[in-house]
């Protein structure tokens, strides 16, 4: 059972994180999860995101979802070594439309993640939340988190309405990230209300909807020449699966070729080549990616557990990996399930067996937190 790295994992923030750490005048509008009857409601800047509570589904939450020491024990059981950590509640920060509030919440989250996880083990690779409503504020926070020791940031998949991702207004952000050598992540389901449909089919429709903005943003970054202007920038689309990549490559190449007379700016290479050079994607369960390797190659692809979320692979990560890679080329398997992430984040090779750093016994926390 080879040890793997997860390029998509989540922390679950304390429910009162922002209330406890925000300036009093912003506290009221900061993210706050509340349970009302069968609903779990997340309030953020006056917006309410309502979802059915998950307790009734009978799903069991991973024991280590809340605390780093218990988490390392879950990782031992799963034989996962390093994890790229994303927020849970903090995924909603881009829903806030007040730049001051979004920036303050981002700082609180980034400080908390650093203190609580990144200082505990080098196996926890944090992604900082960067507020994008104001470019200058974003660049400032990029500098701050770089100094803290971050290697990656997360920006919303759906950008603010007034500034799509093909805009050159983002250049200071791309430039700051490239210079700091921070990886640019886009976790699906960020920046827009993820609940597009209710009623029949809602759960599946909404799950599918999360990966369209990811494809859109890749098209914007590639076709606009942003990735050409910042050729060292490495982009990760997180939790959107991977087998859509060849389809987007073909569509973009077709557009660039067949509509070449209108295409501007001219690019350094075909869109598919730029994608192979600078875009990566994480998946949990996407079996079709093995059939599309001839278009993507293995270097773009990274497995992620999505621990501890319910759409993830805990507690069967190794079995899920085996379903995709059983019988396949062991080099390809090793690259996609560990080496590619190690290369991108300058991690040492995973050990042959993965042990928790802590002897502390597993204790299931009473605080269930949000998904
Ligand atoms: Mn995820």
> Is residue 288, in this structure, part of any structural domain at all?
yes
∠ Cα 50 52 53 (to 5°): 115
Distance (angstroms) between ligand 1 centre and the Cα of 58 equals 21
User: Cis before residue 315, ω within 30 degrees of 0?
Assistant: yes
- The H or E element that residue 280 is part of is strand 279-283
Query: What is the pLDDT tens value at each position of the chain, 371 positions in all?
Result: 789 999 999 999 999 999 999 999 999 999 999 998 888 899 999 899 888 776 655 677 888 888 999 999 999 999 999 999 999 999 999 999 999 999 999 999 999 999 999 999 999 999 999 999 999 999 999 999 999 999 999 999 999 999 999 999 999 999 999 999 999 999 999 999 888 999 999 999 999 999 999 999 999 999 999 999 999 999 999 999 999 999 999 999 999 999 999 999 999 999 999 999 999 999 999 999 999 999 999 999 999 999 999 889 999 999 999 999 999 999 999 999 999 999 999 998 778 888 875 433 322 233 333 33
* DSSP E strand boundaries for 297-352: 301-303
pTM over 0.85: yes
Contact criterion met (CB below 8 Å) for 364 and 74: no
Distance (angstroms) between ligand 1 centre and the Cα of 198 equals 22
Distance (angstroms) between ligand 1 centre and the Cα of 137 equals 25
User: In the prediction, which pLDDT does 360 show?
Assistant: 30
User: In the prediction, which pLDDT does 361 show?
Assistant: 31
Number of domains in the chain: 1
User: In the prediction, which pLDDT does 354 show?
Assistant: 84
> Is residue 268, in this structure, part of any structural domain at all?
yes
Distance (angstroms) between ligand 1 centre and the Cα of 157 equals 13
> Is residue 230, in this structure, part of any structural domain at all?
yes
> Is residue 267, in this structure, part of any structural domain at all?
yes
User: In the prediction, which pLDDT does 19 show?
Assistant: 96
Between helices 211-223 and 271-278, what is the axis angle to 10°?
110
Distance (angstroms) between ligand 1 centre and the Cα of 297 equals 23
Domain residues for the domain of 135 are 6-12+64-346
DSSP code string of 80-114: EEEEEEE-SGGGGGGG---HHHHHHHHHHHHHHHI
User: In the prediction, which pLDDT does 252 show?
Assistant: 98
Distance (angstroms) between ligand 1 centre and the Cα of 268 equals 32
Distance (angstroms) between ligand 1 centre and the Cα of 188 equals 7
Token digits of residue 44:
């953020």
CA distance 149 to 5: 20
CA distance 67 to 116: 8
Token digits of residue 348:
């040492």
> Is residue 51, in this structure, part of any structural domain at all?
no
User: In the prediction, which pLDDT does 61 show?
Assistant: 81
> Is residue 54, in this structure, part of any structural domain at all?
no
> Is residue 353, in this structure, part of any structural domain at all?
no
- Environment class of 9 (CB within 10 Å of its CB; exposed 0-12, middle 13-18, buried 19+): buried
Other Cβ atoms less than 10 A from the Cβ of 291: the count is 10
User: In the prediction, which pLDDT does 58 show?
Assistant: 64
Distance (angstroms) between ligand 1 centre and the Cα of 355 equals 23
Distance (angstroms) between ligand 1 centre and the Cα of 88 equals 8
Distance (angstroms) between ligand 1 centre and the Cα of 207 equals 12
Distance (angstroms) between ligand 1 centre and the Cα of 8 equals 5
Distance (angstroms) between ligand 1 centre and the Cα of 184 equals 15
Other Cβ atoms less than 10 A from the Cβ of 175: the count is 15
Provide long-range contacts, Cβ within 8 A and 24+ apart, for 243-246: 243/283, 243/286, 243/288, 243/289, 243/291, 243/292, 244/211, 244/215, 245/275, 245/279, 245/281, 245/292, 245/295, 245/296, 245/300, 246/292, 246/295, 246/296
User: In the prediction, which pLDDT does 235 show?
Assistant: 98
> Is residue 239, in this structure, part of any structural domain at all?
yes
- The H or E element that residue 72 is part of is helix 68-78
The CATH number assigned to the domain holding 72 equals 3.20.20.140
């Amino acid at each position: 059972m080879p040890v793997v790295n997860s390029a998509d994992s989540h922390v679950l923030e304390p429910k009162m994180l922002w209330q406890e750490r925000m300036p009093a005048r912003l506290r009221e509008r900061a993210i706050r999860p509340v349970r009302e009857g069968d609903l779990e409601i997340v309030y953020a800047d006056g917006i309410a995101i309502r979802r059915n509570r998950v307790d009734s589904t009978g799903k069991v939450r991973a024991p280590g979802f809340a605390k780093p020491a218990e988490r390392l024990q879950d990782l031992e059981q799963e034989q996962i070594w390093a994890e790229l950590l994303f927020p849970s509640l903090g995924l909603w920060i881009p829903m806030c439309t007040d730049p001051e509030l979004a920036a303050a919440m981002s700082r609180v989250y980034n400080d908390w993640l650093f203190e609580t996880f990144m200082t505990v083990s080098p196996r926890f690779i944090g992604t900082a939340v960067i507020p994008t409503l104001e470019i200058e504020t974003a660049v400032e926070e990029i500098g701050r988190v770089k100094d803290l020791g971050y290697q990656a940031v997360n920006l919303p998949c759906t950008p603010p309405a007034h500034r799509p991702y093909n805009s050159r207004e983002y250049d200071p952000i791309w430039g700051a990230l490239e210079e700091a050598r921070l990886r640019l992540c886009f976790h699906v389901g960020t920046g827009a209300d993820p609940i597009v449909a209710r009623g029949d089919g809602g759960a599946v429709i909404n799950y599918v909807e999360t990966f369209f903005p990811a494809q859109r943003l890749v098209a914007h970054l590639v076709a606009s020449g942003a990735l050409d202007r910042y050729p060292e920038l490495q982009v990760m689309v997180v939790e959107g699966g991977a087998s859509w990549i060849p389809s987007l490559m073909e569509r973009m190449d077709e557009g660039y070729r067949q509509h070449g007379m209108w295409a501007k700016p001219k690019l350094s290479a075909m869109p598919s080549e730029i994608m192979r050079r600078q875009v990566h994607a994480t998946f949990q369960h996407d079996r079709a990616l093995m059939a599309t390797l001839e278009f993507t190659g293995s270097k773009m692809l990274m497995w992620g557990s999505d621990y501890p979320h319910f759409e993830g692979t805990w507690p069967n990560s190794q079995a899920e990996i085996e379903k995709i890679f059983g019988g396949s080329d062991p080099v390809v398997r090793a690259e996609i399930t560990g080496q590619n992430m190690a290369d991108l984040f300058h991690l040492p090779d995973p050990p042959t067996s993965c042990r928790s750093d802590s002897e502390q016994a597993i204790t299931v926390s009473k605080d269930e937190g949000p998904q």
